[in-house]
Amino acid sequence: MKRMSDQAPAKHKEDRPAPDDHLDQASPTHRPLDLPAVRAQLQSKTGKQYWRTLEELAGDPNFEELLHREFPRQAPSEWDDAVDRRDFLRLMAASLALAGLSGCGRAPEQYIVPYVKQPDGVVPGNPQFYATAMPFGADAIGLLVESHEGRPTKVEGNPDHPSSLGSTNAFAQASILSLYDPDRAQTVTKAGEIQTWSQFLDAAQALAATFRSTRGEGLRILTGIINSPILAADLQTILTLYPSAKWHQWEPAVGDGTREGAKLAFGSYVNTVYRPENADVILSLDSDFLASGPGNVRYMRDFYKRRKLNGPGDAMNRLYVVEPTPSVTGSSADHRLPLRSADVEQFARALAAKLGLGGSGKLAPDADKWLDAVVKDLKKYPRRTLVLAGEQQSAEVHALVHAVNNALGNVGITLYYTEPAEAHPVNHLDSLRELCVDIDHGKVSALLILGVNPVYTAPHDFDFAAKLRFDEKRKGKRIETVIYVSPHFDETAQYCDWHVAESHYLEAWGDARAFDGTVSVVQPLIAPLYRTHSLHDVLAAFTDKPGLSAYDAVRDRLKAANPSGDFEKFWRKTLNDGVVAGTAFPAMNASLKFNPASLSPAKESSSGELEFLFRPDPSIYDGRFANNGWLQELPKPVTKLTWDNAALVSPKTAQDLKVTHSIPSRGGEHGQILSDVVDISISGSKVTAAAWILPGQAEGVVVLPLGYGRKKAGYTGTNKGFNAYAVRASNALWAANAPSSVIRKTGDDYPLACTQYHFNMEGRHILVSGTLDEYHNNPNFAHEHEELPPRELSLYKGEAEFPYARNKWAMAIDLNSCNGCNACVIACQAENNIAVVGKDQVMRGREMHWIRIDRYYTSTLSATGPGGGLASGKSTGDPSEYQPALDNPDTFFQPVPCQQCENAPCEQVCPVGATVHSAEGLNDMVYQRCVGTRYCSNNCPYKVRRFNFLRFQDWETPQFKLMRNPEVTVRSRGVMEKCSYCVQRIDKARIDADKKDQPVPDGAIITACEQACPSQAIVFGNANDPNSRVAKLRTQQRNYQIMPELNSRPRTTYLAAVRNPNPELENA
Amino acid sequence: MGFAVLAVLAAARSPYMTRQNITREQPVQFSHKHHVGDDGIDCRYCHTSVETSAFAGIPPTKTCMNCHSVLFNNAAYLEPVRESYRDDKSIQWVKIHRLADFAYFNHSIHVNKGVGCSTCHGHVDEMPLVFQANTLLMQWCVDCHRSPEAVLREKPEDVYNMDWTAPPNQEEIGKRLAKERQIRTTAELTSCSTCHR
């Protein structure tokens, strides 16, 4: 492959941030990643290897430089003007001397503003918690929201809610930032002019009156998935009042396969609820059930219940995943088979055939062998297995999976069927198409769009913008009145007549159904910050009860459903619990009316073609969270990219397409990766994207994550990444096949911010993993190659100085339960007022997350066959050969917060005593002492310290002042910060216990990360208390320290990951 | 040069900077001397959350009106209070005891362990206008965190007793109380994260 450095220097597009010329001159080397060289390297290595980036695997010298520098050889980037840093300091010193004392005058007066009448139950200084729920697609996550004197500041899971059980996901955690988003639409507008709500109501009722006479002819409503009973009732009322009106639905990131598959299998729409805790063997066909789709938070808890090991005698479930691109679920599988999306259907057909259900599927020989082993394993555990199909898979795959689960006897044990949780299941693509056709035929005179953004998300061949905007040919608009309700003035809003700013779920009453049918009342915590209204308020204007508030609507509905008894008491209990008791759907009998043999033959994938897949982005979903800085800066679970999406390609496809990426050698700006830019022309449209090489992706698959490239998302979300919707056509909604010639390298490169190049730890014993058999045979495997220096061998006085008489805080993280879902990262950010720094700063390695999740790849390499891990046969040295280390490596995730070392290296080098040991074993970080030498960070072997290079916090925007946790200092520029084990929560629990003269009970302190973790991988507590959960975990043999040879004695320990591979596949 | 540094440090700790012993005008010239000293109203009648929260609580206007809707209900002096109640607008009191933002003081644990109000706030019952009786500098906090025995009061009701004075055998009593009430060790009480986070 030709080296890019031989060619002309990379050209940068004008609209992209160009690197500083000064820096490029300083270090001219520009080595792109050379994949054949990586393959050759792999063939010469032996033994089990862990690595995080391809460059690390390749032994790239630029990577070595990153490794050795905690802080990049710093670019004087903040000092762009003629005054350089040295001059600046000199000037500052002089002016300080002149200024004398004026710089430290006494603090200005502050005022105390008490209530006039203090509300009942409010104790100033003590937060309150209210139960509510966050509606999301066909699910709702039950929450307890913390409120400080009326300001919601933090979201936690509701232990009584079935889809939460006390945990949350990253979206729910980040929703608090969406509430305070300063870019939200703030009022009602008509053609961009501010209007009052009553003006809107008048217009809506006038419109409604005209439709009364025409029975609603020409009235259309477009929504996303509706799972709120009151909204469903409103819509039903409207359809009854105006019989000719129509309700359309479009949810861009949820496939119709789930719905249509159920219809194909059972003849009607049926909801499937899984019980993964009852399954011994789980096979996922491209289903990311642990991280997306209804019930994912609950499923994660249930799935990992079966992977908690107390000792080597314990058993574990086994997870097989077949998928085209690595997902959170696939990355934690025991066996993972990368297959093209089209081949997943073949796989499902072959599975049904092998179970004797008829039909046939065509598989490659190695995949067929893999399937044989899986089928044997499934048969070994009758009625104790579970097969799942992905949301993006076709109706056929879903129907086949229903048939397979039925044949395996799983129904009623590992899954059950209920009536649909969504109010009105329809085929969304057909529904949207019908709307578009009717608009074109002039059948639509008024369109109400509620909460979806069709101009951005509709298939590009529908050209939804053209439906709304002025039509030159007709000399007019196709629709007379378009009313749009959304939280932002976005891509669709600009073409609409009326725009109503939508309230956040924490601002308006409502209700929502969870994945299992349980109804929650969505209880607001704060009056609307702006003049916003709920979807119910808008719909009610068209019903016969236009003034009915959402609060009354929710109460009326519950009253009607519970006519007997004391309603007020019931209502209070419902609000307190967060769930309406007894509303979960009962399991229903669904009889299978489907014969796999009757399926018409599927389209076979042609290996010469590329398969382009559209997937919701793991961080910003379908684009609705694009303006959420926390989610934008959240490293995506597998790729660890931030602020951008990229066209994901497998290493082999990248080699074929000759796309690569390089680390610009400039002293290690840790996160900046220059990726080749490609033009992709599919489905009659074109998009320009940066390419990203993703090990473990199926060959020939290109994934285009949705949600980016927004044009009107707000300050944070606009013009980030590329818009995959632009090449998404209605006939290829989830997968498009095209010859490889549709990808063309433009010759440009594009800087991507990838955090997996940051905070590299060097040393042994960082991530430890083994198999269940290894664990059985050698329970001490986690300590095999451990070097533990004697305790005395230390400059520290150790326990003589710190006896830790009462509490000895410690954290144990079970790597067996972590799948990198990121809930903890955002929970920590919300709890600890952590700043967002922006893409440019992430590329300089300056993101501020106190807990990061490292993603490791591993494979057992062997120079003399059986070639590398799962691959069969001896290595031939052929660079195109299948190399599991690249093409399907095992993946592990390791969350790394501050290790709170007993012999903390950071403490010894701080010249001002800003990081010191506490009597309970914390490494206290004292911001007001810190002068910013960064010595501590340089000396931290775990790379967990974060420095405020600039004033990253936004101190001006008033909304953010409301959002912050008042219990945690908001840090300023020049100060080091790091994980404190949520010391504010420790202090609170300790004070509560001390007031009762009792020890802090186990479980009274739940750190933010522990609280959010759906799989309960993180456990915090007092290591001195032998009955505490953390002390018990610490006595397990799997418990190990990172880099014990340093004798830093971290308080954060890890439990080695254990996978449960099928021996039959292992030895194949 | 050394003298200049010392002068700056001395100035930074002067009452001018700490606002020790300085009274300030309030929207209503509320007299603690009258309410506490003359009328004998308990601290907790107004500062309701002192035993349960970090914040002792500044009374809502409603608390004032409990009495002043009947007593002195025509006094011009109290017009701001009535106005606040009438218009539902908070009274803005000037904050007298002001800790740095990075110090997280908790009232409830101090009074629950037997540290009396007057230990920090001085003879509030003799202050027509409240002023800050101590420096509130970290040194002053830490003095007590190093040896809390000197200030622990035996009887719970004495916590709110403005006239409490240390008995001659306070050291002996204090040591016993510290043990009984499981007061944390000096090392624990002087760990940074006890007050800063």
| Per-residue confidence band for B5, with pLDDT thresholds at 50, 70 and 90 | confident
ipTM > 0.95 (yes/no): no
All residues of chain A having their beta carbon less than 8 Å from the beta carbon of residue B102 are 927-928, 969
Restricting to A residues 910-949, those with a Cβ less than 8 Å away from any Cβ of B are 916-920, 922, 924, 926-928
Residue B77 domain flag: no
Question: What's the domain range around B179?
Answer: 50-58+96-197
Among B19, B53, B84, whose Cβ lies nearest the Cβ of A124?
Answer: B53
**Tokens standing for residue A613:** 């897949």
A111 Cα to chain B: minimum distance (Å): 5
Predicted pLDDT at A761 = 61
Domain at A609-757: CATH code: 2.40.40
| Per-residue confidence band for A600, with pLDDT thresholds at 50, 70 and 90 | confident
Residue A987 CB neighbours (<10 A): 20
CB contact under 8 A, B191 and A919: yes
Residue A1041 has pLDDT above 60, yes or no: yes
pLDDT in tens, A531-562: 999 999 999 999 988 889 999 999 999 999 88
For helices A170-179 and A823-831, the axis angle rounded to 10 degrees is 30
| A-chain residue closest to B180, CA distance | A997
pLDDT in tens, A858-889: 876 544 333 333 333 334 445 455 667 778 88
| B-chain residue closest to A104, CA distance | B12
Residue A16 has pLDDT above 60, yes or no: no
Element (H, E) at A153: strand A151-157
Residue A608 CB neighbours (<10 A): 8
Residue of A104, A118, A120, A992 best to disrupt the B interface, most CBs of B under 10 A: A118
**Tokens standing for residue A233:** 């009732």
CB contact under 8 A, B89 and A922: no
Q: Which 3 state secondary structure label does DSSP give A75?
A: coil
Residue A282 has pLDDT above 90, yes or no: yes
- CATH topology for the A128-179 domain: N-terminal domain of TfIIb (2.20.25)
CB contact under 8 A, A112 and B95: yes
Q: Where are the domains of chain A?
A: 128-179, 188-254+425-550, 271-418, 609-757, 769-790+803-859+898-1059
8 A C-beta contact, residue B94 and residue A109: yes
Instruction: Find out if CATH 2.60.40.1190 is the number for domain A769-790+803-859+898-1059.
Output: no
Residue B101 domain flag: yes
Name residue A380's beta-bridge partners.
Answer: none
Q: Which 3 state secondary structure label does DSSP give A83?
A: coil
By the CB < 8 Å criterion, does A995 face chain B? Answer: yes
pLDDT in tens, A767-794: 888 899 989 999 998 888 777 777 777 7
Predicted pLDDT at A30 = 60
| B-chain residue closest to A804, CA distance | B188
8 A C-beta contact, residue A759 and residue A842: no
Matching fold, domains A271-418 and A609-757: no
Number of H helices and number of E strands within chain B? 11, 1
DSSP secondary-structure letter at A672?
E
Q: How far is it, in rounded angstroms, from Cα A546 to Cα A355? A: 57
For helices A550-561 and A567-577, the axis angle rounded to 10 degrees is 110
| Per-residue confidence band for A309, with pLDDT thresholds at 50, 70 and 90 | very high
By the CB < 8 Å criterion, does B13 face chain A? Answer: no
DSSP secondary-structure letter at A187?
S
All residues of chain A having their beta carbon less than 8 Å from the beta carbon of residue B100 are 928
Query: What single-letter amino acid sits at B49?
Result: S
Q: Which of A752, A749, A879 is nearest to A4 (CA)?
A: A749
pLDDT in tens, A573-586: 999 999 999 999 99
Predicted pLDDT at A67 = 63
| B-chain residue closest to A113, CA distance | B92
End-to-end CA distance of chain A: 33
By the CB < 8 Å criterion, does A800 face chain B? Answer: no
Q: How far is it, in rounded angstroms, from Cα A895 to Cα A989? A: 25
Q: For A815-819, what is the mean pLDDT?
A: 93
Among B16, B52, B101, whose Cβ lies nearest the Cβ of A123?
Answer: B52
pLDDT in tens, A942-960: 989 999 999 999 888 999 9
Predicted pLDDT at B100 = 86
Residue B19 domain flag: no
CB contact under 8 A, A110 and B95: yes
Q: Specify the number of domains making up chain B.
A: 1
For the A188-254+425-550 domain, the top CATH level (class) is alpha beta
Q: How far is it, in rounded angstroms, from Cα A796 to Cα A802? A: 10
pLDDT in tens, A337-347: 999 999 999 99
Q: Which 3 state secondary structure label does DSSP give A323?
A: strand
Query: What single-letter amino acid sits at B132?
Result: Q
All residues of chain B having their beta carbon less than 8 Å from the beta carbon of residue A801 are none
Predicted pLDDT at A872 = 35
The answer for residues whose C-beta is within 8 angstroms of residue A22's C-beta and 6 or more apart is: A75
Q: How far is it, in rounded angstroms, from Cα A840 to Cα A948? A: 14
The answer for residues whose C-beta is within 8 angstroms of residue A329's C-beta and 6 or more apart is: A284, A287, A288, A289, A290, A291, A319, A321, A323, A819
Restricting to A residues 340-379, those with a Cβ less than 8 Å away from any Cβ of B are none
Report the predicted TM-score, pTM, of the whole model to 2 decimal places.
0.90
pLDDT in tens, B91-114: 999 999 988 888 999 999 999 999
Predicted pLDDT at A861 = 57
Q: Cα–Cα distances in Å, from A1002 out to A611, A922, B136?
A: 52, 17, 35
Residue A267 has pLDDT above 50, yes or no: yes
The answer for residues whose C-beta is within 8 angstroms of residue A84's C-beta and 6 or more apart is: A76
Predicted pLDDT at B47 = 94
Domain at A271-418: CATH code: 3.40.228.10
> What is the average pLDDT score of chain A?
86
Q: Cα–Cα distances in Å, from B119 out to A35, A423, A625, B43?
A: 72, 64, 52, 14
CB contact under 8 A, B49 and A918: no
**Tokens standing for residue A1061:** 């591979």
Predicted pLDDT at B79 = 94
8 A C-beta contact, residue A897 and residue A809: no
Q: Which 3 state secondary structure label does DSSP give A966?
A: coil
Q: How far is it, in rounded angstroms, from Cα A706 to Cα A14? A: 24
All residues of chain A having their beta carbon less than 8 Å from the beta carbon of residue B138 are none
- Say which residue the tokens 């937060």 belong to: A127
Between these two residues, A336 and B10, which has the higher pLDDT value? A336
8 A C-beta contact, residue A693 and residue A706: no
Q: For B49-73, what is the mean pLDDT?
A: 93
How many contacts does A have with B, using Cβ atoms within 8 A?
A: 135
- Say which residue the tokens 């232990």 belong to: A159
| Per-residue confidence band for A473, with pLDDT thresholds at 50, 70 and 90 | confident
Handedness of CA A1009, A1010, A1011, A1017 (dihedral sign): positive
pLDDT in tens, A504-523: 999 999 999 999 999 999 99
Cis peptide before A941 (omega within 30 of 0): no
Among B55, B62, B104, whose Cβ lies nearest the Cβ of A124?
Answer: B55
Among A114, A987, A995, whose Cβ lies nearest the Cβ of B59?
Answer: A114
Restricting to B residues 76-135, those with a Cβ less than 8 Å away from any Cβ of A are 84-85, 88-95, 98, 100-102, 104, 106, 108-109, 112-113
A999 Cα to chain B: minimum distance (Å): 10
8 A C-beta contact, residue A750 and residue A14: no
| B-chain residue closest to A914, CA distance | B192
All residues of chain A having their beta carbon less than 8 Å from the beta carbon of residue B92 are 111-113
CB contact under 8 A, A123 and B11: no
Q: How far is it, in rounded angstroms, from Cα A223 to Cα A752? A: 35
